[in-house]
Chains A and B, each alone.
Chain A
Amino acid sequence: MSERLIVIGGGGAGTAAATIAKRVNPDLTVTLFTEFPDIAYSPCGIPFVHGREIPKFEDLFLSTVERYIEDGLDMRMETTVTDIDMDRGTITARNTHEGFDKLVVCTGFTWEKPDVEGANLEGLHYVKDIRAAMLFDEQLDGMKRVAVIGATPLGVEMAGNLGHRGLQVDFVDEGPWVLSEVLDPDVAAPVHDSLEKRGVTLRLGTRLEGFAGTDGRVRTVATSAGELPCDAVIVCLHKLPNSALAEAAGVKTGTTGGIVVDDHMRTSLPDVWAAGDVVEVPHGLSMIPIRGLTGSHAYAQGRTAAFNAAGRDNAYDPVWVPWGMVAGDYTIGGFSLGETLATAMGVPYVVAKGVGVSRARYYPGATRTHVKLLAEPGTLRLIGGQIHGGEGVKERADFLAFAAKRGATLEDIAWMENIYSPPIGALFEPMAIAAQAGLEDVRRSQAVGAA
């Protein structure tokens, strides 16, 4: 009789785990449980459909349930797993016990709810499920003014897109600039300008104090700076790991609340793996566990769990977290640490800054690319960076994260080879310009020190 693998969760990690495990070991019986009616769509695309950048929600679907069934998966849609019994090797769903030999937990995250009065009113919307998003989108047609709470990456995307749609948007956050937990303050001005051009009113340094409404529906947001009338509120606070089910079964969780896994995505219990937003994985520089990363991290972790659950040997590296996004119309990105996070952690660094262009200067469409690199004093190995401007932010962030992971230094980047082709690349690579300037600063400060 073949072994049975049960995967709990139908997001990026769960879908990857189930499909890849079946592909790697076709003898496995693979069952996937998800509480939702849909699978294989991109929730990250939802803000852009609201903003009318993408025509319709259907465009976000990548596959169908039927396709997974054709591939040999046992799909249990709209079926919530309520218990894991490790002694018996069973899970419980719809009051029925089902046995497993191996288990992959990919239960994802839930959004942090604001701990203020009125948080249960109707009209508070959380961006996650595509069907809820479709209904909300219809309601948006009749709305004029919305409040977005939390200048997180999702908050920035929702605020910018709803502004683009023509809604009046109040964007509320306690921080002194948007994305202040990720982005350095030297990038605040262009990001703020771009959001404001889209009709977003920034309410920064402002605390959310509560919601008030009539007939059970939210009508105003109370803040430390006064009341804001609204037709709806989009809550974009932090992601919290959905680890209660696994924790109740005895799976160890860590300092972030996420499930503790090793580099094979194994949990503390035998034959149980976990992946995606529910786990914590170490940062490559500090080895401090972090969580709540990107969809591509979730997919790669699900893939690793699948290989190992299917009998192969596959390790996942500590992460250097390349990230990027469009804030309003302005592209920002980076990897690992920015100055703000390095300062908060107390990690010593030297800074290398430079500005270049994305194409030949004379070629139409060229944009300025700002690069800031952080390096370890002494060895000058890269430890982080931020890039902003127009084109090529994502590719540079990906490259730099990989280079840092392999120990590249400012000198390596300063002398790197680069493509020069007028429509796609300038003679001088912006990353190299930044690294050269940084090396010059280091030499100067060493000369001053020696004198």
Chain B
Amino acid sequence: MTALDRMKRNLRDRSEHYLMLAAIRDLGAGKPGTVAPFDDRSGLLWRTMFVPLYRRLPWPLKRRAMETLRMTATGWQPPERRAHEPWRPPPPEP
């Protein structure tokens, strides 16, 4: 594993953790049966800089950034999702 791979893995781990923590805190507040999540007060920069900045960016831009960083899958072809059109089999290979 290269240093870049390690960095990307770490970026994903940390960003997912703090984005999830923020989402859980926001959506769960006041909902019946929920309590406050445990807060170890770690990751000050992630909470105060990364999460608000990430949230401000539109989804297509986030998606493009992930693609640029090669954090999305390659070698895959998702089926087309065309609203209001029935699914049809893929065209035969040439």
Chain A contacts to B: CB under 8 angstroms: 174-177, 180-181, 184-186, 188-189, 191-193, 204-207, 224, 247, 253, 255-257, 260-263, 266, 280-282, 284, 286-289, 315, 317-318, 339-341, 343-348, 379-381, 404-409, 411-412
Please state if A176 and B8 are interface contacts (CB–CB under 8 Å).
no
The answer to whether B77 has its CB under 8 Å from any CB of chain A is: yes
Q: 19 A–B contact pairs at CB < 8 A?
A: A176-B28, A180-B24, A180-B37, A205-B38, A206-B38, A224-B38, A257-B9, A282-B72, A282-B73, A287-B73, A288-B72, A318-B79, A340-B24, A341-B20, A341-B23, A347-B59, A405-B79, A406-B87, A407-B80
CB < 8 Å: which of B1, B20, B38, B78 contacts A287? Answer: B78
Q: In whole angstroms, what is the CA distance A266 to B26 when docked?
A: 40
Name which residue of chain B comes closest to A208, CB basis: B38
Please state if B76 and A177 are interface contacts (CB–CB under 8 Å).
no
Interface string of B1-40 (1 = CB under 8 A from A): 1000100110010001001101111111001111111101
Q: In whole angstroms, what is the CA distance A286 to B16 when docked?
A: 14
Please state if B33 and A406 are interface contacts (CB–CB under 8 Å).
no
Please state if A176 and B81 are interface contacts (CB–CB under 8 Å).
no
Name which residue of chain A comes closest to B77, CB basis: A263
Please state if A255 and B8 are interface contacts (CB–CB under 8 Å).
yes
Please state if A348 and B27 are interface contacts (CB–CB under 8 Å).
no
Most chain B CB neighbours (cut-off 10 Å) among A176, A186, A412: A176
Q: In whole angstroms, what is the CA distance A411 to B85 when docked?
A: 12
Most chain A CB neighbours (cut-off 10 Å) among B8, B22, B23: B23
The answer to whether B44 has its CB under 8 Å from any CB of chain A is: no
Name which residue of chain A comes closest to B78, CB basis: A318
Please state if A180 and B72 are interface contacts (CB–CB under 8 Å).
no
Which chain B residues border A318 with CB–CB below 8 Å? 73, 76, 78-79
Main SS class of interface, B: loop
Please state if A180 and B28 are interface contacts (CB–CB under 8 Å).
yes
New contact pairs (7) apart from A288-B71, A407-B80, CB-CB < 8 Å:
A180-B24, A188-B28, A188-B33, A266-B75, A288-B66, A317-B79, A318-B78
Which chain B residues border A409 with CB–CB below 8 Å? 83-84
Q: In whole angstroms, what is the CA distance A189 to B12 when docked?
A: 31
Please state if A262 and B76 are interface contacts (CB–CB under 8 Å).
yes
CB < 8 Å: which of A174, A188, A205, A261 contacts B32? Answer: A188
Which chain B residues border A257 with CB–CB below 8 Å? 9
Known: A282-B76, A346-B62, A348-B59. A407 touches B82 (CB 8 A): yes
Which chain A residues border B8 with CB–CB below 8 Å? 255
Q: In whole angstroms, what is the CA distance A207 to B32 when docked?
A: 21
Please state if A407 and B85 are interface contacts (CB–CB under 8 Å).
yes
Name which residue of chain A comes closest to B86, CB basis: A406
Which chain B residues border A289 with CB–CB below 8 Å? 72-73
